Amino acid sequence: MNLYYGAKAAGTHHLQEGKCCQDSCLIFRLPEGGMGFVLADGVGSASMAALASSRACTCARDFIKVNYPLMEDEESVLALLNGAMNRSMKDLYKLARDSGLKDREFDTTLMIVLMTGSGEEQGTRGRHVYTAGVGDGGIIGLSESGSYRVLYAPRKGEDGSSVIPLRWGPSEWEIRKAEGTYASVLAATDGLLDALFMPPLLKMDPYGPQADIPMLRQFMDPALLEEKAGPGRSLQEYMEKRITDPEDLAGVTDDDRTVCALIDPACRVPEPSCCEKPDYKKLLQMRDQLIRGELPDTGPAVGGCRLTTPDIFWAISRRGDPRRRSS
């Protein structure tokens, strides 16, 4: 039995303005015990952002369910993902044309994750994972060996802040089969990704961890999540409560926040060798030293983390601890 959840909530600014959450997500089943989800984040500057994210998700999901290949070979699945991205993009262009609005009013990001059927049937403990993405969200996989890997890294425009939308076309899309097999896979929009799982303050060197592993375990580890989904308990309700609780996930970002995950509880993974929380206090001190010019742009690593020039811009614009609280 697969475990899964998809939780979303409107950010503080949208609530104050009487707006709904402009993110959308849909989870669906695939043949032979596989599962998938689509997740989109409507661009804040687009007047039809909420509708755009919803339509992009619906079109992608429907295309995948109707056209899923009989033979689950890599080439066919990658072509399916490309077709789903294209179908969603063309639908948004049509929406803009029919409404008389400019294309940019329907801008949205889009991420798609497919997790194949039982790993035992494939001769592995984990599942194969396929991903497609565009925009500033991110996808992280927990491999059957217990390592956390970034499967799709958030991307911004050339100015470092603008969002790359779906309508910019295939040259901006990243579609691939993830190397290895996985016990779980998670995707999050930028609001949660930047504040919770991969704070911009953590700029990793090639040999360091890529994210806050202790935090990710709470959202991806099969053993921990199966316990949350025990008799009389719902994993979906648990995550929805966390994401709306001001003392929990609702307290880490003002942005809309959405997270989806697929988990294979039968694939138990070893505990990560590095399970210590990042030393945010030390990193914040380093950031302040960089701002004051007391450290070179590529300061010394702390726990595998390096601060670079982009962190300075982020620190000046945002200030304070990227978490606002410790968990």
Q: Are residues 153 and 271 in the same domain?
A: yes
User: Could you tell me if 158 and 85 lie in one domain?
Assistant: yes
- pLDDT score for 43: 93
- pLDDT digit string (tens) for 69-114? 988 899 999 999 999 999 999 999 999 999 999 999 999 999 999 9
pLDDT band at 206 (very low <50, low <70, confident <90, very high): very low
Same domain, residue pair 133 and 261: yes
Beta bridge pairs of residue 185: 141, 262
User: Which residue's entry shows tokens 């927990």?
Assistant: 142
Residues 245 and 287 in one domain: no
- Give the mean model confidence (pLDDT) for residues 171-191: 94
- The verdict on 46 and 8 lying in the same domain is yes
3-state secondary structure of 188: strand
pLDDT-based confidence at residue 115 (cuts at 50, 70, 90):
very high
Domain boundary among 238, 257, 275: 275
CB 242 within 8 A of CB 228: no
Looking at the structure, do residues 236 and 298 belong to the same domain, yes or no? Answer: no
Please state the rounded mean pLDDT for residues 54-61: 98
Residue 97: CATH number of its domain? 3.60.40.10
**pLDDT at 203 (0 to 100):** 54
The answer to whether residue 2 scores a pLDDT higher than 60 is yes
User: Is position 325 within any domain?
Assistant: no
pLDDT at 318: 38
Q: Which range (36-40, 128-132, 303-307) has the least confidence?
A: 303-307
Q: In whole numbers, what is the pLDDT of the chain averaged over residues?
A: 81
Nearest 5°: CA angle at 87, between 82 and 91?
A: 150
Region 150-178: what's the mean pLDDT? Answer: 91
Rounded Cα distance, 164 and 130, in Å: 21
Whether residues 86 and 217 fall in one domain: yes
Residue 18 belongs to some domain of the structure? yes
End-to-end CA distance of the chain, in Å?
A: 29
Helices 280-291 & 309-318, crossing angle to 10 degrees? Answer: 100
Sign of CA dihedral 184, 187, 191, 194: positive
Rounded Cα distance between 134 and 153, Å, is 9
Token pair 């726990």: residue: 303
Distance CA 270, CA 40 (A): 32
Pair of tokens at residue 157 = 């425009």
pLDDT at 4: 93
Q: How many domains does the chain divide into? A: 2
Comparison of pLDDT for 220 and 2, the residue scoring more: 220
Among 133-142, 210-219, 276-285, name the one with the lowest average pLDDT.
276-285
pLDDT at 6 over 90: yes
Please state, in angstroms and rounded to a whole number, the distance separating the CA atoms of residues 64 and 57. Answer: 11
User: 55-59, 184-188, 283-287: which range is least confident on average?
Assistant: 283-287
Task: Answer whether residue 216 is part of any domain.
Answer: yes
Domain check: are 150 and 292 in the same one? no
Question: How many residues are recorded in the chain?
Answer: 327
CA angle 227, 26, 58 (to 5 degrees): 170
Q: Does 186 lie in the same domain as 134?
A: yes
Residue 295 structural domain = 279-320
Does the residue 298 lie in any domain? Answer: yes
The pLDDT of residue 227: 84
Query: Does residue 146 sit in the same domain as residue 244?
Result: yes
Q: Is the per-residue pLDDT at 216 higher than 70?
A: yes
In a domain, 327, yes or no: no
The pLDDT tens digits for 245-289 are: 777 766 666 788 899 999 998 888 887 665 666 666 776 777 677
Do 266 and 297 sit in the same domain of this protein?
A: no
Element (H, E) at 239: helix 235-244
Together in a domain, 160 and 306: no
Q: Which of 137, 132, 187 is nearest to 163 (CA)?
A: 137
